[in-house]
Amino acid sequence: MIHNKTIDLLLTRKSIRKYTDEKPSDEILETVVRAAAQAPFAAQMCSLLLSRREGKIPFGAPLLFTICVDAHKLEQVMARRDWETASNDLSLLLFGLQDAVLMSENLVIAGESLGMGSCFIGNAPYRAESIIKHYKLPSRVFPIVQLTMGFPAENPPPRPRYPLDFFLFENEYPRFDDDTVAKAMKEMDDGFLAQDYYREADYMVPLEDGREETFTFDNYSWTEHMGRKWGQWLKSSKEILEQLAACGFDLTGGKE
């Protein structure tokens, strides 16, 4: 592999859940936010919410960003050109999601380049109504993810990732044989076990529906963790559709 400062920054990035008391300056804040805004976009259909409420941010971080899909802003601009939205809300959300996630990654890497760390908090869409109240959001703004940021007070190792042949597919998507899947699973599980990740976190997703627990922290690792999360949680779309509706997005049909 080729190595340079940018590549090494990307390869060594990890989630930070412990922060020092040092507060990023306004100059640092403006720098990372302006770098975030230069991400590629479909319609700049995204916005950042910022909180610096001391003692109120997860992990004791000094900064909390909430990255939002923002159709409200787009529609304000369109109205001044005498246009109304004809696009269906699902399509708007998909393009807005592209804008939001690209902005998020720029934000993370800009922060890393200035010595800061960060951690994504992925359940923001399921707390949309409380985020609306806190930030007084107008209709048509949907919080997609939150991000803590500050100067790290810990230095965990980068977490394992799938081997290249399990996510890079040239020309066509492959048919996975048992050996390929087993190799990818082993690489992830061995990596997390070597770091004692789940034991240190003291977290194992509880089993539901009367399933008997057969794992300990000696063998509970990433693939079992993923299986339990996506094999037990979020069985209905009702809750997320309600949160989207609270933000003014209707995914039940198109515009006639």
Q: Residue 229 carries which side chain, given as an amino acid letter?
A: K
In this structure, is residue 245 part of a structural domain?
A: no
The answer to the question of residue 181 being in a domain is yes
pLDDT digits (tens, 9 = 90+) for 150-209: 999 999 999 999 999 999 999 999 999 999 999 999 999 999 999 999 999 999 999 999
Chain mean position to CA 8: 21
Report the amino acid identity of residue 36.
Answer: A
pLDDT at 256: 55
* Residues facing 152 on adjacent strands: 19
Question: Exposed e or buried b for every residue in 235-255, given b needs 16+ CB within 10 A?
Answer: eeeeeeeebbebbbbeeeeee
Alpha-carbon distance 38 to 25, whole Å? 21
Q: Which of 124, 155, 186 is the last residue of a domain?
A: 155
Residue 29 lies in a domain: yes
Sheet of 117-121, strands arranged across: 46-51, 63-70, 141-150, 117-121
How far apart (Å, rounded) are the C-alpha atoms in residues 156 and 203?
17
The CA distance from 163 to 12, in Å, is: 16
Q: Is residue 247 part of a domain?
A: no
Residue that has been written with the tokens 């923001």 in this structure? 124
Is 89 a domain residue? Answer: yes
CB 132 within 8 A of CB 246: yes
**Domain assignment present for 240:** no
Residue 168 and residue 150 share a domain: no
In total, how many domains does the chain have?
2
Do residues 64 and 97 share a domain?
yes
Query: Where a domain ends, among 105, 132, 155?
Result: 155
- Shared domain for 98 and 140, answered yes or no, is yes
Q: Are residues 107 and 182 in the same domain?
A: no
54, part of any domain: yes
Give yes or no: residues 64 and 116 share one domain.
yes
Query: Which regions in the chain score pLDDT beneath 50?
Result: none
Range(s) of the domain holding residue 125 = 12-155
- The reply to whether 90 and 25 lie within a common domain is yes
pTM: 0.94
In this structure, the answer to whether residues 16 and 47 fall within a common structural domain is: yes
Any bridge partners for residue 120, and if so which? 147
Whether residue 197 sits in one domain with residue 135: no
Which 3-state string (H, E, C) describes 138-168? CCCEEEEEEEEEECECCCCCCCCCCCHHHCC
